[in-house]
Amino acid sequence: MKRLMAMLLALTLSAGMFGCADVQNGDNPQESESSQVALDTSTSWDVVRPDNLPADYPNTEIRFIYPFNSSGSTTVIYFRLLAEKIKQMEGWKYSVVLNQREGAGGDIGWTAAAEAEADGYTITFTPTSMLIKAIGESRPYTGDAFEYICNLTSSPGVIAVAANSPYETLEDLLQAAQASPGVVSIGVTSSTGGEGLAVMQLEKASGTDLNMVPFNSGTEIIAAVSGGHCDALCLNVGDIITPVEDGSLKVLAVGSEERSAEFPDAPTYQECGYDVVQVNSRAIAAPAGTDPAIVQYLSDCFKAAANSPDVQQQIADIPLELDFMSHEEVQALFMDSYEEYLTLWNTSPWM
Amino acid sequence: MELLSYFTQLLDPQTMMWIFIGAVVGVILGALPGMSATTGITIFLPLTFSLPPVTGLATLAAIYVTGSYGGNITAVLINTPGTSDSLFMVLDGYPMTLKGEGLKAIGVTTLTAFVGGVIGTVALLMIAPQLARIAVIFGPFELFLTVMMGIIIIIGIVKEEVMKGLMSAVLGFLCSMVGLDGLTGKSRFSFGISAIHDELPMVPLVLGLFACAQVFMLVAENKESIVIGKDTLKGSAWLSLKEMKDLAFETVRSSVIGTVVGIIPAAGTTIAAGLSYNLAKRADPDPSSFGKGNPKGLATVSAANNAVVGGSMVPLLTLGIPGNGTSALFLSGLFIHGLAPGNKLFTDNAAYAYGLLFAFLLANVFILIFGMFGAKAFVYVTKMPSSVLIPIIAALCVLGAYSYRCLPSDMVIVLITGVVGYYMMRTRFPIAPFVLAFVLGKSAEIYLRRAVMLMNGKVSSVVLQPLPLVLIAIDIIMLVAPFWKDIVKAVKKR
């Protein structure tokens, strides 16, 4: 009996430790071993290690700080697949581990990442909405706090209503808002993030007053709109592909500068006559000051992985809005966006 | 038969092995205070990368089902519910254990959990697309009214100590307001303490109030083991035919309630268990026996809890709307294997969708096997010397609290709330109302505020609808029913 108890105790304790370690890491030795079944023999892998890259890089695990709950995020799934591929092809001894630091709308994770040592072993998830938050709440994770490695996905904003809604165009919706100010409701996930900002800009451009209602998650908004409890929604295109396919929502307009591939029939906000652009680009970045050789090397690795046929096959059916940009491109994009938001903040603060 | 072929694909030895592993992991993690099916799925999600889709999803399904059952065991035997989900489990389960009927309690909770799980899954299997509409007809206002039902149940469980029970509930509401305001995203009542900047964390709080307080209680009572003087290991976990007949009606009714509540997004296990418990208590000829070790109380709660599992998958698979945190993890599981929820899942990818559903059924069979044949081993814990048991629970409390968010400060919270819980137990302040108010207060507040925002300029078109009116009526009936006899008496006197 004593032996049984000792075993039970050991088992339970180790299960607990295992549980915690993995909530943080999410990566498993078994996983990497068994996923090597499909060794990529194609020749598309052409990463060259820069000359001034530390010879032993990476000589330990690379920590990927994700500042939200990662469940359900397709971009994180994509990131994992890419990181796994890179480890396999580059023959790294160490993995990229997911370090989930959720809380305060991303604040906790981003602050930790911005203040982390710039040694090339900490990277984080940086969507453009982070910049909006940083400016609005004067937080340390500003545009120049990071070196942007690459962009993974970009989602144009979208405004949609229930399939049986009387509104057929963005104009209809905004006219209704003009007729009865503050009554037409529009669901957003955060009134101070990218969506809230877009709605406010639209209100300003059209001189109307919508009733902006924050929800906890995109799925909650979709349920409320398709059930007729909320008049419209402002989310990202990627959030609503399935409900539109299933016929519970219809798209009024998209926030990109050009029409989106997913909804080619929907006009852009600009085509509707409002000079508003809403695109959330999801990039990964290292703290400012990280060795440029490392940033360039990682960017090349992710580019090669994104182009690998294996990964492309794995993600064929996942609703992702792929928009790969390598280091130079994404760096320029984020610095430009940051300048733009700053100008906007100085002329008309949104909080 | 196509359906049959969807089932037989699970019988492949590798798949069966993974379902078995998933079931074992689920029971163990579910049983550990502070761990849950959510922990298990988080661990296993990356592992399923490399498995074929059906095997991977079946493994996750097994963890979900058995994890939700595993919590029953420790709640019943040592009075340590790990999450608010097994809150109602201790009300009758632990008194049964103290009476020396631990073995029977495990039997009851296993059999009824099996029935609940099967009913929930069959509903999912047969009428998922039709049921899915329920998920969207509940808007914020309807959800608020549903959560109110849960809050009203507090009256039902305060028992004799009415004043103390209500004070405990009010304290729970107060604590639920600490942290980020769900609508504005600003932190309130956190006094600049970073540990509670986001919220008073639910898992460490529940662990502290129950499990950690139970540790202090066991130390203070200075008993050799939880149950003394009775041979708890005698007999069998199997119920007699008569006992099963007695529980049959309650079990089925609670399973139906659990399924329906599971479909309503964000309503969840706590409300399902509370509603079924309350209904069973009110309908019973001897309501005062509830809370003192009535097997019926335990049966309703376990059946409802496990039925929620199946119900919560309905809106997830058909609409992509997760009913609770655990089923939200399934979204990742589906995406990893290139499956998107929606109608297409049941047509184009029917083999995967139905394979997953059958895996839920299989996992319930594993519950039955583990529960009935493992009962004696589980119940041994009540005979375990306190000198061994106490340090184990204490260690698990701290570990469980830490693993919730991996924040060291949560280990301090579990100790503080443990002391609070201990004094609440000593002064006979019921803890359940506190936890219920804490969990439901949060959702009630945010749903109500959101509903009021949405009502802006059109109150009547939101409130004067059939569903809200029915829900309001149910709320009022539930509120008045306990006092109905008193009201009638008072009126007659005049």
Which one-letter amino acid corresponds to residue B341?
A: P
- Average pLDDT in the A309-336 region? 85
Q: Please report, rounded to a whole number, the percentage of residues in chain B having pLDDT higher than 90.
A: 16
**Chain B nearest CA to A54, separation (Å):** 30
- How distant is the Cα of B358 from the closest Cα of chain A, in angstroms? 23
Mean pLDDT of chain A: 81
DSSP annotation string for B157-193 = H-TT-HHHHHHHHHHHHHHHTSEE-TTT--EES-TT-
The total of structural domains in chain A comes to 2
Percentage of the residues of chain A whose pLDDT score is greater than 90: 20
A194 plus A308 within the same structural domain = no
DSSP annotation of A39 reads -
> Residue A303 belongs to a domain with what CATH number?
3.40.190.150
- C-beta separation of B445 from B182 below 8 A: yes
Distance in angstroms (rounded) separating the CA atoms of residues B353 and B376:
36
Q: Say yes or no to pLDDT of A295 above 70.
A: yes
Q: Which of A249, A279, A309 is the last residue of a domain?
A: A279
Handedness of CA A193, A81, B68, B28 (dihedral sign): negative
Letter for the amino acid at A91? G
Per-residue tokens: B70:
């595993």
Per-residue tokens: B229: 């003087």
* Interface residue of B188, B406, B452 to substitute, partner A, most A CBs within 10 Å: B406
Cα B16 to Cα B174, B309, B359: the distances in Å are 47, 21, 9
Residue A31, domain member (yes or no) = no
Rg (CA), chain A: 22
Say if residue A125's pLDDT is above 90: yes
Averaged pLDDT for residues B330-335: 79
Name the residue ranges covered by the structural domains of chain B.
2-484
**Which single residue is written with the structure tokens 């590798």?**
B14
Q: How far is A160 from chain B (nearest CA, A)?
A: 16
The pLDDT score that the predictor gives to residue A346 is 83
Is A23–B197 a contact, with Cβ atoms under 8 angstroms apart?
no
Q: Which domain holds residue A285?
A: 51-154+280-347
**Is A26 a domain residue?**
no
Asked if A224 and A204 sit in the same domain, the reply is: yes
Instruction: Check pLDDT > 80 for residue B390.
Output: yes
pLDDT for the residue numbered A71: 63
Same domain, A165 and A273: yes
Which residues, 6 or more positions from A182, have their beta carbon under 8 angstroms from its beta carbon?
A209, A210, A211, B456, B457
- The confidence score (pLDDT) of residue A16 equals 43
Q: Identify whether residues A266 and A179 lie together within a single domain.
A: yes
Residues B450-475 as b or e (16 or more Cβ within 10 Å = b):
bbebbbbeeeeebeebeebeebeebb
- Residue B115 contacts by C-beta under 8 Å, 6 or more apart in sequence? B251, B252, B255, B303
Query: What was the pLDDT predicted at A92?
Result: 86
Contacts of B30 in chain A (CB under 8 A): none
Does A219 lie in the same domain as A128? no
Structure confidence at residue B266 as a pLDDT band (50, 70, 90): low
- In 3D space, the residue among B292, B297, B306 whose CA is nearest the CA of residue B276 turns out to be B297
Distances (CA, A) of A25 to A61, A96, A155, A217, B357: 10, 9, 27, 24, 29
| Distance (Å, whole) CA B250 – CA B300 | 6
The answer to whether A31 contacts B336, with C-beta atoms less than 8 Å apart, is no
Sign of the dihedral defined by the CA atoms of residues B238, B244, B248, B251, in that order? negative
| A313 at interface of B, judged by CB pairs closer than 8 A | no
User: What is the C-alpha separation between B382 and B78, in angstroms, rounded?
Assistant: 7
Average pLDDT, chain B: 85
B67, B30 contact by CB (below 8 A): yes
A159 and A264 assigned to the same domain: yes
To which residue do tokens 């906790």 refer?
A108
Task: Decide if A4 is inside a domain.
Answer: no
**Confidence category of residue A323, pLDDT binned at 50, 70, 90:** confident
**CB contact set of B347 (below 8 Å; sequence gap of 6+):** none
Distance CA(B258)–CA(B253), nearest Å, equals 9
Q: A211 and B50: CB-CB below 8 Å?
A: no
Query: What is the rounded CA–CA span in Å between residue B458 and residue B290?
Result: 44
**Same structural domain, A285 and A170:** no
Q: How far apart are CA B84 and CA B53, in angstroms?
A: 32
Using the CB atoms, write b or e for A132-165: b if 16+ within 10 Å.
Answer: bbbbbeebebbbebbbbbbbbbbbbbbbbbbeeb
Beta bridge partners of A100: A66
What does the alpha-carbon distance between residue B17 and residue B58 come to, in Å, rounded to a whole number?
11
Residue-wise pLDDT tens digits, B22-80: 999 999 888 888 788 888 887 888 777 778 888 888 999 999 999 888 888 988 988 88
pLDDT tier, A350 (very low <50, low <70, confident <90, very high otherwise): low
Cβ distance of B321 and A12 shorter than 8 Å: no
Whether A26 sits inside 8 A of B42 (CB atoms) is yes
Distance between CA B246 and CA A147 in Å, rounded? 68
Return the CATH number at A230.
3.40.190.10
Q: What is the pTM of this model?
A: 0.80
Which range among A36-50, A307-321, B114-128, B154-168 shows the weakest confidence by mean pLDDT?
A: A36-50
Q: What count of other Cβ atoms lies within 10 Å of the Cβ of residue B263?
A: 29
Write down the H helix ranges in B187-324. Answer: 202-206, 213-221, 241-263, 268-283, 295-319
Terminus-to-terminus CA distance in chain A, angstroms? 64
| CA nearest to B406 within chain A | A20
The encoded tokens of residue B480 equal 């008045």
Query: DSSP string covering B321-365, please?
Result: --SSHHHHHHHHHHHHTT---SHHHHHTTHHHHHHHHHHHHHHHH
Say if CB B322 and CB A218 are below 8 A apart: no
Are A162 and A249 contacting, i.e. CB atoms less than 8 angstroms apart? yes
Question: A227: distance to nearest CA of chain B, Å?
Answer: 5
Residue A226 lies inside a defined structural domain of this protein: yes
| A129 touching B (Cβ < 8 Å) | no
Phi, psi of B85 (to 5 degrees): -60, -35
pLDDT tens digit string along A220-235?
888 889 888 999 999 8
Range from A17-31, A186-200, B84-98, B441-455 carrying the lowest mean pLDDT: A17-31
Cα distance from N-terminal residue to C-terminal residue, chain B: 69
With CB atoms and an 8 Å threshold, state whether A5 touches B388.
yes
Report if residue A85 sits inside a domain. yes
Q: How many CB pairs under 8 A join A and B?
A: 182
A162 beta partners: A249
Of B49, B395, B446, the CB nearest to A35: B49
Write out pLDDT tens, residues B99-114.
888 888 999 999 999 9
Q: How far is CA B282 from CA B288, B337, B481, in A?
A: 10, 46, 9
Q: Are residues A322 and A301 in the same domain?
A: yes
Residues 6+ apart with CB under 8 A from B246: B295, B296
Using an 8 Å CB-CB cutoff, list chain B residues near A214: 182-185, 450
Examine the predicted complex and report whether its ipTM is higher than 0.90: no
- The pLDDT tens digits of the residues spanning B281-293 come to 888 888 888 888 8
Handedness of CA A122, A127, A132, A133 (dihedral sign): negative
Domain assignment present for residue A29? The answer is: no
Q: Would you say B109 and B76 are in contact if contact means Cβ atoms under 8 Å apart?
A: yes
- For residue A146, report the phi and psi dihedrals to the nearest 5 degrees: -130, 155
Tokens of B320: 């992509």
Contact between A245 and A259 (Cβ < 8 Å): no
A271 and A236 together in one domain: yes
A200 and A303 housed in the same domain: no
Of the candidates A50, A122, A47, the one whose C-alpha atom is nearest the C-alpha of residue A306 is: A47
Residues A90, A94, A95, CA angle at the centre, nearest 5°? 90
Residues A15-72: tens digit of each pLDDT: 444 444 333 333 444 434 334 444 444 556 888 888 888 888 888 889 999 887 766 6
A241 and A138 in a single domain? The answer is: no
**Residue count (chain B):** 494
pLDDT in tens, B193-240: 877 777 888 888 888 888 898 889 888 888 887 777 777 777 777 888
Cβ neighbours of B322 (radius 10 Å):
25
What integer is the mean pLDDT of B402-421? 86
Same domain, A82 and A67: yes
- pLDDT tens, position by position, B430-486: 888 898 888 888 888 989 999 999 888 788 888 888 889 999 998 898 888 877 888
Contact of B321 with B23, CB cutoff 8 Å = no
Given A225, A244, A279, the domain boundary residue is A279
A312 in contact with B, Cβ within 8 Å: no
